[in-house]
Amino acid sequence: MAIQAGGVTFSRHNKKVPLPKGGNQTPMASEDLTPWQPSASDPWDMKKVRHLGRRAGFGLRPEEAETLTTVGHKLAIDIFLLVPHHTIPERGTYLLPNGEVVNLSNYGHQVATWLWLMNNSPWQLQEKMAMFWHDHFSIGVGTVRYPELLARHVNWLRRLSLSPFKFLLLAVTIDPGMLYFLDNRISTSLKPNENYAREIQELYSMGVGGGYTETDIQEAARALTGITNILDYQFYNARSHDNGSKTVLGKTLNNGSGVNAIVRDMVGVVDAILAHPSTATYMVTKIWEYFVYENPSQALVDKLAARWRKDNYDIRALMETIFRSKAFYSTAAMRTLVKNPAEYVVGMMRNTYTTNISYIRTANRFLGMGLPLLNYPGPEGMPDGTAWINSQNVFNRINYATQFIQQRDWPRNSPRGPLLSTMNPEREIKRKNLDTATPDAIVDYYLELLTDSSVPKKVRDDLVAYMTKTNTGTRTWSYATQPARELNQKVSNLIHLIQGLPEAHIN
């Protein structure tokens, strides 16, 4: 399956794939990992700033993009790489700053709280990495049963999102949510459960066909017995641990008995995984395809994997290498991925700086777009690319955009029900001195803001024509002499039309 936008073809990418075989036709210029530097012919401009904002976060508010353009690329990347380990409450009720009360034992409210944080957190890369790792170490409330464990799961992903990969593998192994999801909490020496032992090698580190054997899975399952939990309390049960000798990926574990033996066996399994060359190769491929472009060449993967191993699998070092590289700002990378639902929904909020939003209602609409945050059906995550683009998901995206641009009043006790959001384009129009501008200038501004001006000329001309027409003729533009509400609705409708274009779905 493939779609086209702006003359570029995008193909479906499935997460559960074998290791890369190389041989793709990506231009060599896009494989340069040396730091990018601005020049007269290739400046640090708004397009590159927005590219960084979309890939390292969920898009930029207009003022943020302008500021990051001014401060330069080095400091802009430094700002994204700041991750303060910010977390959110995991249980009880929580008052969002917009006035909504969320009940964290409710699955939909958990999603609403995360959407709020995606939109409002100044630490955008932390939330983007948490979403990436949540898809990688996917669990779901349908199996875990306790929504609070989902909040805890995402909080530790936030805290460790840029840590050494070893920390993540150890943390996910004892995560109460994962202990439920893949049944390792019931794995004992008498009956080892192989579910988690398989996935920590196949999906979470080495990739399908990455060099492990069925014996490695069986031996890892024995090594990981005795890790259990009651509700949200994780602990080690020495009586259910297999104290015998095990050999995982060529590494022999003979750690005796007791709680310390469980910990040493667990660390031994993770160390054996990290010592295998498939781990760095698989993980850098997956991270590159999520943040840069699909199907990197084997030469690029090998070079990046070698660098990552040298950096002791430090994720922050890997992401800094990627975000500063010439490859990241190449034409092969810019606007060549399909937005997932979170990037589309939160990006619309941030790009238009719409603040009066019902996140509970947004969560209800969002969950119809194919991304089951906090409720993955299986451990393999979700496919990327044009897997997001099907008739039902696109229909739900456009319906969301329709409700997002509404202009009527907000009252929550309105007989028509609370709104998804209330957009106020006048703020941005006046900030950019467009209140007396021509419709051409307004269209050009929003096309640049929302699509990097990547649409065909005919589309742009049609949008200008839409802005000038009324039911009885044409209009002039002046917020000083015409009803602001009427003009706001026209600009809101323009945003809606742009958000329905194929180019608006491209990241």
Model confidence at 416, pLDDT cuts 50, 70, 90, reads: very low
pLDDT at 22 over 80: no
Distances (CA, A) of 455 to 111, 267, 451: 33, 52, 7
Model confidence at 418, pLDDT cuts 50, 70, 90, reads: low
Q: 221 and 197 in contact (C-beta within 8 Å)?
A: yes
For 296, residues 6+ apart whose C-beta sits below 8 A from its C-beta are: 20, 24, 26, 31, 285, 288, 289
Question: What integer is the mean pLDDT of 192-215?
Answer: 96
For position 487, what pLDDT does the model report? 84
Question: What integer is the mean pLDDT of 340-364?
Answer: 93
Model confidence at 408, pLDDT cuts 50, 70, 90, reads: low
pLDDT digits (tens, 9 = 90+) for 157-172: 999 999 999 999 999 9
pLDDT digits (tens, 9 = 90+) for 263-290: 999 999 999 999 999 999 999 999 999 9
pLDDT at 241 over 60: yes
For position 27, what pLDDT does the model report? 43
For position 406, what pLDDT does the model report? 77
Q: What is the DSSP letter of 231?
A: T
State how far the Cα of 274 lies from the Cα of 280, in Å rounded to an integer: 8
For position 407, what pLDDT does the model report? 58
Q: What is the DSSP letter of 18?
A: B
pLDDT digits (tens, 9 = 90+) for 47-69: 999 999 999 999 999 999 999 99
Task: Locate 321 and state its tokens.
Answer: 């290498």
Residue 120: how many other CB atoms lie within 10 Å: 17
Angle between helix axes 341-352 and 391-404 (nearest 10 degrees) is 20
Q: 412 and 418 in contact (C-beta within 8 Å)?
A: yes
Average pLDDT, the chain: 89
Side chain identity, residue 153:
H
State how far the Cα of 362 lies from the Cα of 368, in Å rounded to an integer: 10
Task: Locate 209 and state its tokens.
Answer: 């066909």
Where are the chain's structural domains? 17-84+280-336, 93-274
